[in-house]
Amino acid sequence: MGLTESEDTDIIPAPSSIVRAPSEITTVNSSLAKSAIPSADKLAKVTYWKLDLDTILDGLIPDPLPESIGKDNAIHHLNIIIFGKPNTGKTTLAESLAQALARRYGQENVKALRSTRDLPALFENMDKLFKRFRKPPKAVLLFADDMTKALKKLSGTVAVKDSNGQVQKMRKIDYWLDKWYDIRGELFKRGMRQGLVIMVAALHRFYGGDIDLRADADL
């Protein structure tokens, strides 16, 4: 699956990828090094591995998902942070996660939305995402790619109304992060009552993200 910019995408499950580890190890010529490094035969047995996202999701997602009674909000929420330097596979991992959700719930029941360096666009396009469907999907994946730079762009203030209807100024970064933290409420406003929503934030450094974002992470 390819997560396209700020729009929902079709999710095409792909075979689990298998990664091969480097086959050559260079060591110093000493008896200590020779005794510490496994033999070539032993290394050959541990050269392959795969990332089993299905098993990881089994430990994070209740089965079955909670059902809504009446007008209750029964959306199950997961907050995932992927961090690393550029070109280390953060976007690929998010795409693999979307494919794992498609295998679990069916391609037609899973929708993904991505924005790069633009957190407001992620939410502004959610209306567009849900207007295309007669009923909400079972699972929604929202991916904020390069959230490190997205947060840096949110300077200035925005006018918002408080509970009493009074207009107040609020920092843009606080306004959009509040929407991130209250994603269940945002989806509830759009007609979703139950199902799964996974928020994925890609950061260059783990401690480069908002402290509340890090504290709320499930994975």
Is residue 11 pLDDT above 80, yes or no?
no
Determine if the pTM surpasses 0.75: no
pLDDT in tens, 122-160: 888 887 777 766 778 899 999 999 888 888 888 888 888
pLDDT in tens, 160-185: 887 777 888 888 888 888 888 888 88
User: Can you name the residues that pair with 168 across neighbouring β-strands?
Assistant: 160
Extents of the domains making up the chain: 67-215
How large is the average pLDDT for residues 199-205? Answer: 89
**What is the band of 198 on the pLDDT scale with cuts at 50, 70, 90?**
very high
Is residue 23 pLDDT above 60, yes or no?
no
CATH label, 67-215, candidates 2.40.30, 3.40.50, 1.20.120, 3.10.110 = 3.40.50
Look at residue 18 in the predicted model and tell me its pLDDT: 37
User: Can you name the residues that pair with 160 across neighbouring β-strands?
Assistant: 168
Map 174-212 to HEC letters. HHHHHHHHCHHHHHHHCCCCEEEEEEEEEECCHHHCCHH
Instruction: Quote the percentage of the chain above a pLDDT of 70.
Output: 76
Top pLDDT among 11 and 197 is at 197
Look at residue 157 in the predicted model and tell me its pLDDT: 84
Look at residue 196 in the predicted model and tell me its pLDDT: 93
**What's the CA gap between 45 and 53, in Å, rounded?**
22
**What's the CA gap between 200 and 112, in Å, rounded?**
11
pLDDT in tens, 32-88: 434 445 566 655 554 444 567 788 888 888 888 888 887 889 999 999 999 988 888
Alpha helices in the chain (DSSP H): 31-36, 40-44, 53-60, 90-105, 119-124, 126-131, 147-153, 172-181, 183-189, 211-215
Look at residue 158 in the predicted model and tell me its pLDDT: 83
Look at residue 50 in the predicted model and tell me its pLDDT: 56
**What's the CA gap between 3 and 37, in Å, rounded?**
41
